[in-house]
Amino acid sequence: MTAITIREVPDPILETLKLKAAKAGKSLQAYLLDLVTREAATPTLAEMMARLDRETRADVSTSDILAAIDDGRERR
């Protein structure tokens, strides 16, 4: 595994992270590893949009949609 160093972390940020880690019952290292792991697993907006585009293709025209609406209204 590779070690990562983050330099010049402002003291208030470090203290906040330490507090959050303690509240989670984790060491700062374990807490930060969880954060980085979660971030790496989260798809980007572009990736989500590409997936949505792939999975939601429909061959329905505007006229088909309008005809279905009209049909539904006539059945009331």
Question: pLDDT for 15-66, tens place per residue?
Answer: 999 999 999 999 999 999 999 999 999 999 999 999 998 888 778 889 999 9
CA angle 13, 17, 31 (to 5 degrees): 145
Res 34: pLDDT: 98
Res 59: pLDDT: 83
CA angle 54, 45, 42 (to 5 degrees): 100
Res 15: pLDDT: 98
Prediction pTM value: 0.63
